[in-house]
Every structure is written in structure tokens, then in C-alpha cells.
Amino acid sequence: MAIETGFCKRESKLKPEVFFDLMFYAASLSENSSLERLVVYLQKQHGIEMRKQSLDERFTESTVNFIKMVLSRLIHAQISEALYCKEYLSAFNHVRIKDSTKFNIPENLAPYFKGSGGSGDVSLAGITIQYEYDLKTSDSLDLNVTEAVRNDQSDAKATSKNICKNDLSIRDLGYFSTKALKEIADQEAFFLSRLLTRTTVYEAKGVELDFKKLYVWMSKNRIERLEKAVLIGQKEQLPVRLVIGLVPPEVYEERLRRKEEECKKNGRQLKEMTKLFMHFNLFITNAKAEDLPAEKILTLYRFRWQVELMFKNWKSIFSIHKLQKMKYERYVSMLYIRLILIIVNLQIVNRVQVSLSKQGERKSILSYDKALKTLKNCFYEILNILRGGKQKAIKLLGDIYQLLSKNHWREKRKKRENYLENIYLFTC
């Protein structure tokens, strides 16, 4: 890969494996790593003397392409197996959860990553990380770094063809696009999404669904949930199952309070139609009812929050959003190396979870937050697994298995969404 991307053109003391060793060391540090610190590590660990300027010159476009290729190869080489049991969401090939995170970066990078600003946090430079993983195996399916101005809907339209037959895609409203959903359906794949409230919905014979009348009827008859076969969109209408749930009065009041505060802050008037839709939970899917029953839709959709928790871990543990000012090629290299280290660690956690599940420990679900914090502290063990031979790797992984299988469990919390019970609903 180093030769293919042009990183390695001739014999050099900074060989590809030494360079990756150096980059992993930099990624393991909680604080930023200066060139001074890196050349000292090279001297101490590998006996290689190099000036700061010479090391800085090694960060080129070819270096960026080399690291990106390694990340791509790593994602495609993951070992796939159901995390909890073979019956877990078995109706689908992959259950694809996708979301994005944005953060500001040093403004010297604005020519490469244009910032989006917004919410009073205006920046000339910003990055969006698009991440997609499989809920069945927790394997990473897609990991892409773009400029912050590229929104989620643009990503949905650009990547809908990546979804394969019998996959189920779950995304939030930021990705909502009738055109993208139709492309998913055309590929014999499935989607689960909230309904964007400004979307036109038609019942039989082309009659538009009246949500005001529907709310009055459901309230009068004390119906909490129902399902309708409808068409969405105006130009190219898409047939979907619309699952409609009425929220409890206290949930409606809380939604209304938050929306009124948001409108007041932005100097806008809250519309009556917006208030009406706050009474509902509205989901659309093209999956069959026997594969995805209406009563399980809300629970399955809630798993989407797990990717947001992952982003929180990536920032708090690996500081992906806190790299110091540096030239473009070095900044991108450092960011991608952190992402590679994250994927390696996630794969280790997932294999431990699979092993525990096979032993009948289905109630033992690992906490990614606890496990990733521990693995961050086990950096040199991870590095030795990557560097060493098979027997050494087996021994080190065995030690890590023992470590993670003790006191690294996801805890039940009162008055909060219970992840453990949600998992049991799909595995029992």
C-alpha cells in the first residue's frame, strides 16, 4: 500500500511500519504531539535520528492517501459475527445505523474543510465525520471525513447506492430524502425513518392524510398506536408503512416547552401545524410487518442513539476534535490515524462481546465507554499485538479479554432508556 500510494518511493530509514508505529504513538497521547516529541520517540524507540523539518516533509498528499487506504482495508477486513446471537435481527443482512458529528478545526484549514457555522458557533473551518456501522455485528461499514458544509441529506443522496439487498438502513431526519429512500427500495433493501412532517402523505385513491382529524379520532377512541399503508412524495410516490403513535400528555408538554424556547431564542413564531405534529411519533418503513412489527419499531429506532454515544467517546477519549494547528497533510494524517486506532479497539471489544455471548453470557453486555477507556490505557499492549507474532498476539489478547470481562458491563439506570432490555426484546 505504501508503494501503491507513493508514500514509499525508495529505501528510507522511516519505513512504513516505523511510520505507523510513530503515528499510533501520537494517537495514543491525550494531549497534542509536537514534532519535537515525535523525533525524540523515533530516536528512543527505533534509534532513528531525524530533524523536525525532515519529519514534517514526510507529511504529503501521498502520506494522506496511504493512511486512508490502510483505514479502508481495515474496515473491509473486519471479522463479522452476530454480537449477541444468530437470531438477532436475522431478517436483515445488515442493520445500518448512520450519523454524523461536526467540529471546528484550525482556520488555516479552511481552504480544505469549509466551516458551517450555525448556532452562534461560526468558524471558517470545520469537519464532518460520517460514520455507519452494523447493529448486528457492530462492524464499521463506512467512515468518511468531509468539510462541515456538506450536510447529511447530501450524504444520503450520494451514498444510497452503497446499501445492499436485504439491508435495513436507519437514519435520523437530517438524512431524509424521498429520492434516497426510493433508491434504497429499488435495490431491494429496506429503511426505517421518522417522517419529515412537511412530507405529503396520501392514503388510498390519492386522498391526502389529514393529521388533525387523525389526532382527534385517535384521542377520542383512546388509540395509542396504529398503522397505515400510504404513499409519500409528490413526483415519484413511494409506498410505505406509516406507523403512528400518540405520545403521553407529559411528553407533548415537554416537546412544546422546548420548541417554544427554541422559537423564542431565534425570534420565530411557533406554527399550529408544528404543535399538532408534536402529539405524534411518526415512522415510515418498507420492511414487511412480519420482519419488523409495528410494536418493535420505536425500540429499534432508539438504537440509533448508540452512534451518538460513540462520537462522544471518540471525542472524550481520543480527542479527535482537539488537534492543534498544523499543515493540512499532517492534520489529516493525525486525524485518520486516530480513527484507525478507534476501529482497532472497537474490533477488540466486539470480539470479546461475541465470545461472552457464545458462552451464554447474554446478559453481559460490554460498555463501550468503559472498554475504550481501558484500551486507551493499554496502548502499548495494542501496539505489540499489531507488531508481534501470532503467539504473542494471542497471549496479549487473552490478557485483554480477561481484563474487559471484569467490571466493564453496561449498567441499568433508573428513569432512563434501558439498552439491556431493548437488546433482550430482539434476542429472546
Residue 167 is predicted with a pLDDT of 96
> Radius of gyration of the chain from Cα atoms?
24
Burial (0-12, 13-18, 19+ Cβ within 10 Å), 262: exposed
Q: Take residue 394 and report the three cell numbers written for it.
A: 494471542
- Beta partners for 202? 208, 231
Helix, strand, coil percentages (3-state) for the chain, rounded to 5, are 50, 15, 35
Whether 416 is covered by a domain: the verdict is: no
Q: What is the pLDDT, as a whole number, of residue 218?
A: 94
Q: Is residue 55 domain-resident?
A: no
Domain membership of residue 346 (yes or no) is no
Quick count: other Cβ atoms within 10 Å of Cβ 342? 23
Residue 257: closest CA among 231, 284, 229, 278? 278
Q: CA dihedral in degrees (243, 293, 309, 65; nearest 10)?
A: -100
The CB-side HSE value for 269 (13 A sphere, CA atoms) comes to: 3
Whether 208 and 231 have beta carbons less than 8 Å apart is answered as no
Beta strands in 219-279 (DSSP E): 225-232, 238-246
Place of cell 468558524: 123
State how beta strands 190-194 and 280-285 pair.
antiparallel
Strand pairing report for 95-104 and 168-170? parallel
Structure-block grid coordinates of residue 186: 429499488
Provide the number of structural domains found in the chain. Answer: 1
Q: Say how many CA atoms lie within 13 Å of 243 toward its Cβ.
A: 19
SS3 per-residue string spanning 39-79: HHHHHHHHCCCCCHHHHHHCCCHHHHHHHHHHHHHHHHCCC
Which structural domain, as residue segments, surrounds residue 187?
Answer: 173-292
pLDDT score recorded for residue 119: 47
Residue 179 lies in a domain: yes
Strands of 165-305 (E only): list them. Answer: 168-170, 190-194, 201-202, 225-232, 238-246, 280-285
pLDDT in tens, the chain (428 residues): 999 999 988 888 889 999 998 998 888 876 678 899 999 999 999 999 999 999 999 999 999 999 999 999 999 888 888 888 888 888 999 999 999 999 999 999 999 999 876 544 567 899 999 999 999 998 999 999 999 999 999 999 888 888 999 999 999 999 999 999 999 999 999 999 999 988 999 997 889 999 999 999 999 999 999 999 999 988 778 999 999 999 999 999 999 999 999 898 888 888 999 999 999 999 999 999 999 999 999 989 988 888 898 999 999 998 899 888 999 999 999 999 999 999 999 999 998 988 888 887 556 788 899 999 999 888 888 888 877 788 988 999 999 999 998 888 887 766 666 676 777 777 76
Q: Is residue 372 part of a domain?
A: no
CA separation (Å) from 231 to 15, 182, 209, 241? 58, 12, 10, 9
Comparing CA positions, the residue from 212, 14, 7, 180 lying closest to residue 98 is 180
- SS3 state of residue 290: coil
- Considering the domain boundaries, does residue 131 fall inside one? no
Q: How far is CA 390 from CA 71, 76, 382, 394, in A?
A: 22, 21, 13, 6
Residue 394 corresponds to which amino acid? I
b/e burial code for range 309-339 (CB count within 10 A of at least 16 → b): ebbebbeebbebbebeebebbbbbbbbbbbb
Residue 274 lies in a domain: yes
193 within some domain: yes
> Is the separation of the CB atoms in 369 and 100 below 8 Å?
no
